[in-house]
Structure formats: C-alpha cells, structure tokens
Amino acid sequence: MSAALRMDAAPHGATAAARPWGAFAQPDGATLFRLWAPQAPAGMTLEVEGRPPLPAVPDAEGYVEIRVAGCPPGTRYRYRLADGTAMPDPASRLQDGDIRDPSIVADPAPYPWRHPDWRPRPWEESVIQEVHAGLCGGYAGLCRRLPDLVALGVNLIELMPIADFPGARNWGYDGVLPYAPDRSYGSPEDLKRFVDCAHNLDIGVMLDLVCNHFGPDGNYLPRYAPSFFRTDVTTPWGAAIDFGQPAVRRFFEDCAHRWLDEFRIDGLRLDAVHAIFDEDWLRALPRRLRERLPGRRVHLVVEDDANRAGLLEAGYDAQWNDDLHHVLHHLLTGERQGYYGDYGQEPAAILARCLAEGWHYQGGQPSAHRGGAPRGTPSAHLPPTAFVSFLQNHDQIGNRARGERLTALCPSTARLRAAIALQLLSPAVPLLFMGEECGSRTPFLYFTSHADPALAEAVRRGRREASEVLMDDAAPRSELPDPNAEATFAASRPEPCNDAGREWMGYYARLLDLRARCLAPRLRGARSLGAQALGPAAVRAAWRLGDGSRLTLYANLGSAACPLPQDLRAAAPDGGALRFETDCEALLRFRLGELAPDCLLCFLESAA
C-alpha cells in the first residue's frame, strides 16, 4: 500500500493533532473517512453509496472520523450540509466525474512500475519543458511526444497543474481538489503509465503544485472549516491559507507527498509561494518530503516574487528567475508596459547582474512598478543552477491579452536566436515552453470551462479589466478572446511541426547537445566570475565551472554593433576555445574588436 494512502503514515515530527485527511481503505475491507471540520455546522453528514447518512461530528481536535465496514475501493461518497449542499472530500484521491460529483475511495493496489528504481538526472543537468497536458492530447498524447523530446535534448517535463478543476478546460490554477488528478487528461493509471513511459526514455516528470489558494468554484472548506483560512491577510485569489494550523500543514504536505510517492513524480514546482504567509512551513517542506522518500532524488522548485534566498538555502533546488526573463523580454521586444517598465533603464546592466548573481531585485533596488518598494534578498552567493531561466512560460505568454509568443513579438529572428543561445549555454537550468522548440506562432491563451454563467462572465470581465494582463493591447477589450469559449482552448494548441519548425528544432537540438556534452558534466560547483555591460544591449559574462574550466559568453541583443573595450580585446579567448557562434561573421567581427548586432559567442577554455 502506498504511504500516501495509509491512515497511519505520519511524517517525522508531526503532532498528534495533524492527522491525514481523506478516505483510507483498510485491510479488512472497511474504509476510514477523516475530515478536518472544526466549525462543522450541526446536521452535517457523510453519505456513503448504498448506506444511510452518517452524522459527521468533529472531535475535540476538529476531526470527523468515521469507520465504515464493508466499504471497498471504488465506493462513492460525499459530505452534505444540513441545508442540502453536497460536497466532495477536499482530500479526494479520485472523483466520479467533475469537482461537484461524488468522491471515490481510491484503490491502494500498487501500479506495476517497470522502472521502480529510476532516478532523474542531477538537478544541474536538467533541461525542462513546460507543457499543458490537455493541449498535448492528455497523458496518452504526452507519451507520443516523448521520443521527439528525447531527440531535442529535454530530460525533464514539467506539467502545469493537473489537480481536479471545474470543467474540462483549465490552466490548472483553478483547482479545488489538490489530491485528485483531473480526469479530463486520462485516468490515474494513465498518468502513472505516462510517468513510467517517460522514465523508460530517461526523462523525469515534474508537477506544478498549487498550495497558495483554491479556485473560485467548488471550494467548500469555508462552510465547515473557516479556520483553514486567515482573516487578516489576503492574496490576489482571496483569503490566505492559514499554514499556522497543524491540520492545514498536514493537508498540503501529504498532498505533495502523494504526487511524489504514488505517482512517482520526480519533482514539484510550487506556485507563487509569496502568497504562502508561513516561511517556516516552506523552509521545512524540502526536508520533510525527502525524509519521507529515502533513496529518491526529488527536485523542488519555487516561484517566489519575493526573491528570498533563504528558501533556496533551505533545500529547494531553484527558483524561476522572473528578473532575467523580464529584462530579456524588454531587450527582445522593446516593451515597457506593466512590470517590464522596471527593466527598461540600463537593461544591459540589469542583464549582466542577472547572469552573474541571479536576481536583479535583491533588496536594495526600488521598483517603480511597485510604487518604489524594494524587494528581494542578496543572491550572488547562490550557485548559477539555483535559478531556472526561460524566455517564455505559461504566465508570460498567457497573461497577455492575445497570448502572443516571442516569434510574433520579436522583430528580429536573429536576435531571438541569439537570446535562445544565451539562455541554453549559460549555467542556469533552462526551461522551454511547449511549442517554443518549433518556433510556434500559435498563441497560448487563458482558458476555462466554468459551468456557472455568472462565474464565466466574471472571469471574462476580469480578464478585460486587468491592465497587467492586457499589456496595453490596442484592440477593443470587447474583442478579446473569451476564456470560457472552447475555441479559445482550441486556438492555443501548438500547430504541427512544419519545415520551418523543424529548422527551429534543429537549432535547439544543436544547442542542447552542446550543453549536454560540454556544460552539464561541469556545472556542479560552478560559480560566477562576474559580468558586465558592454553597450546598450550587449553583455559579457563568465563562470568558473566545476572542473576548473572557464565559460565566457558575449551577447549583443541590439541592432547596432558594439565595440569591445581594449582590455577585453587583449584578453579575448583564442579560437580553440570557441564552442558556438551565431554566425561566422560574428566571430570575424569579434576578432576585429566588436560584437556584431544580434549575436552570441560562447567560449569554453579548459582548466590550466
């Protein structure tokens, strides 16, 4: 039986009050139902298929515990309030349909894994592709994509959230049943089969996990456990979750453990942890999860707008580096609206700092976009692989009014290719967004499938009114894509790879092959040797790699050539150290003392 389903599987150090939530099948054919409902209204009941309703009365610690004999896996159940409101189990492992349907007692029988001892590559060797399972044809469609990703050089797939959400179409961040895989993409067995297939091809699987909020439809916790939430702090998605409650901590820790244990997911990306107002829980989570999974290599990544180095020091492998993305996006597109306005002044200096130190915002830089407030902590002491670099991801494409990709926004293909080379040949762990490798021009739009017309209209109106999302789009707001329309989902599916797409794939594959052969084996122990701006859009950055070799990148993402300073001309690496150049003319002009427009040069010098 998976530890994620055992009623007595308590993590190290858990208090007696912090008990696991859910329905737990017992060896004798019974099922134990447990729900934390400290403010459960009188008359709340548990309804088990084929049985009369059972009173759901919390004990002194707030838990409802009901043992039902002769209740095997596959049995349907739900909770009901006295006013007739029927509710799924918030820790449901499986739903009989959608979020408002009954929950199902999950089968604890183990899946016959073909590769039970497989381990992902060490973190610093990772190359990630972020994908939306629904747009890829579900888990079966993802399986069919795997050989192409192997050929490309990807070794870690990151799934956007797959926890049960309302309807059949959603980004996943509206989930309300975080333990249950949404069945729109396939069955739980299909998910396990996909992970097994990925492992067979030496590809790991990460999952984007949302622990900071619940979606707007189908969250009943406030009805019987309002103390699950705080009353003094809010987030962009509503009331903040109260991680000071032991039961709440246990709920999310067990949730994370379930995905890693039962589904053998190889890592988690925790969404927007700046909206989790309990840094102690965040700091403790890596240790607690790894203690519960001895012998496993588990990759843990955060998205943290607060830029807190302390989280990375506590055991998270890396953080998504929005600062690097934002300055690169400005250099590629010229955009200054929204948060990009913070990166329009001296962008080359900002880019150099991000390459050398990770974040631009490290506590001492006021943000005009945030009204002059500083954010962040120093990050120069962290290894370069503590940052995930990307030119595109679901947020940065989808949170635009029309979901444009860089192929539509960047005026110069040569400039975009230079930025891609900069990303893939620098030590930070790279992330690609699905379709990026083919040069896709298909938009990635925000989509939902809310059944409630009022909620669908509220989402539609919210998207039209969100200035951060619109990015100063010139089209009338009434003409923006309807998130709830099926056509919006269909329009977001990347087109099949054509001849031009195959050329893009060849470019990515060449760079990732160079990364795998020449950089990945040397990245452990790498450290920055500094970076500097050479011109308005040009930088030089260098790193001492783990084996003592020296990696130096010269990039110019501007339309004008940039002269090299005299001291750099004298110290320029020799031709034998060159590993990549965007074109032969760029190398020739470098030898003559200037960086050509829209170019990148990569030198790797062996240790003396």
Given 497, 519, 541, the domain boundary residue is: 519
Q: What is the mean pLDDT of residues 384-388?
A: 98
The pLDDT of residue 6 is: 33
- The model's confidence at residue 593, banded by pLDDT at 50, 70 and 90, is very high
pLDDT at 463: 85
> For position 247, what pLDDT does the model report?
98
If asked whether residues 245 and 174 sit together in one domain, one would say yes
Residue 399 marked as a ligand binder: yes
The pLDDT of residue 472: 53
* Distance, CA of 415 to CA of 156 (rounded, Å): 27
CA–CA gap between residue 383 and residue 397 (Å, rounded) = 28
Task: Mark whether 195 and 244 lie in a shared domain.
Answer: yes
Q: Are 30 and 65 in contact (CB under 8 A)?
A: no
Tell me: do 208 and 90 sit in the same domain.
no
Specify whether 431 is located in the same domain as 488. yes
Residues 6 or more apart whose Cβ sits within 8 Å of residue 284: 314
Q: Do 458 and 589 share a domain, yes or no?
A: no
Residue 89, token pair as written in the block: 């189990």
Q: What is the largest CA-CA distance in the chain?
A: 86
- Whether 368 maps to a domain, the answer reads no
pLDDT digits (tens, 9 = 90+) for 551-577: 999 999 999 999 999 888 877 787 779
340: pLDDT strictly greater than 80? yes
Taking alpha carbons only, the member of 8, 12, 36, 37 closest to residue 24 is 8
**Measured CA distances, 370 to 339, 367, 467, 531 (Å):** 9, 5, 14, 27
The pLDDT value given to residue 4: 34
Instruction: Answer yes or no: do 226 and 171 share one domain.
Output: yes
Q: Looking at residue 291, which CATH number applies to its domain?
A: 3.20.20.80
Q: Residue 142's pLDDT is what? A: 98
Phi and psi for 91 in degrees, rounded to 5? -105, 30
pLDDT of residue 349 exceeding 50, the answer is yes
Distance CA 216, CA 450 (A): 10
305 assigned ligand-binding residue: no
Tell me what the pLDDT averaged over the chain comes to. 93
With 0-12 / 13-18 / 19 or more C-beta atoms within 10 angstroms meaning exposed / middle / buried, residue 439 is buried
Q: What pLDDT is stored for residue 465 in this prediction?
A: 80
Domain, as residue range, for 568: 525-605
Q: pLDDT tens digits for 211-227?
A: 999 999 999 999 999 99
User: 270 labelled as ligand-binding?
Assistant: yes
Label residue 373 by pLDDT band (50, 70, 90): confident
What's the total number of domains in the chain?
3
- Chain-centroid distance of CA 20 in Å reads 26
Domain shared by 512 and 533, yes or no: no
> Taking the CA of residue 30 as centre, how many other CA atoms within 13 Å lie in the half-sphere pointing to its CB?
9
- Give the list of residues 6+ apart from residue 48 with CB closer than 8 angstroms, or none: 33, 54, 68, 71, 75, 76, 77
Flag whether 213 is marked binding.
no
pLDDT score, position 468: 56
238: left (phi over 0), alpha (psi -120 to 50) or beta: left
Q: Show the CA angle centred on residue 305, arms to residues 232 and 157, nearest 5°.
A: 120
Q: Tell me: do 515 and 550 sit in the same domain.
A: no
| Three-class DSSP category at 188 | helix
**pLDDT at residue 95 in the model:** 97
- Residue 13 pLDDT > 60: no
pLDDT tens string 103-160: 999 998 889 999 999 999 999 999 999 999 999 999 999 999 999 999 999 999 999 9
Does 369 reside within a domain? no
272 assigned binding-site residue:
yes
- Confidence at residue 79, expressed as pLDDT on a 0 to 100 scale: 98
pLDDT at 161: 98
| Same domain assignment for residues 86 and 158 | no
Q: How many CB atoms lie within 10 A of CB 576?
A: 9
Q: Which residues pair with 238 in a beta bridge?
A: 235
Contacts of residue 220, defined as CB under 8 A and 6 or more positions apart, other chains included, come to 85, 87, 88, 90
Question: What mean pLDDT comes out for the span 273-282?
Answer: 96
Whether 222 is in a domain gets the answer: yes
Mean pLDDT value of segment 25-49: 97
The confidence score (pLDDT) of residue 15 equals: 43
Helix (H) or strand (E) holding 608: none
Q: Is 258 strand, coil or helix?
A: helix
Catalytic residues: 271, 303
Q: For residue 27, which of 97, 129, 109 has the smallest C-alpha distance?
A: 109
pLDDT score of 54 more than 60:
yes
* Residue 437 counted as domain residue: yes
394 labeled binding residue = yes
pLDDT one-digit tens code per residue, 61-86: 999 999 999 999 999 999 999 999 99
Distance in angstroms between the alpha carbons of the first and the last residue of the chain: 54
Judge if 394 and 492 occupy the same domain.
yes
Q: Which residue has the higher pLDDT, 48 or 472?
A: 48
Let me know whether 574 and 499 are in one domain.
no
- Cα 72-75-81 angle, rounded to 5 deg: 130
Same domain (yes/no): 35, 134: no
From 519, 535, 559, give the residue that closes a domain: 519
How much is the average pLDDT of 38-63?
A: 97
Q: Is pLDDT at 10 greater than 70 in this prediction?
A: no
CATH classification of the domain holding 50: 2.60.40.10
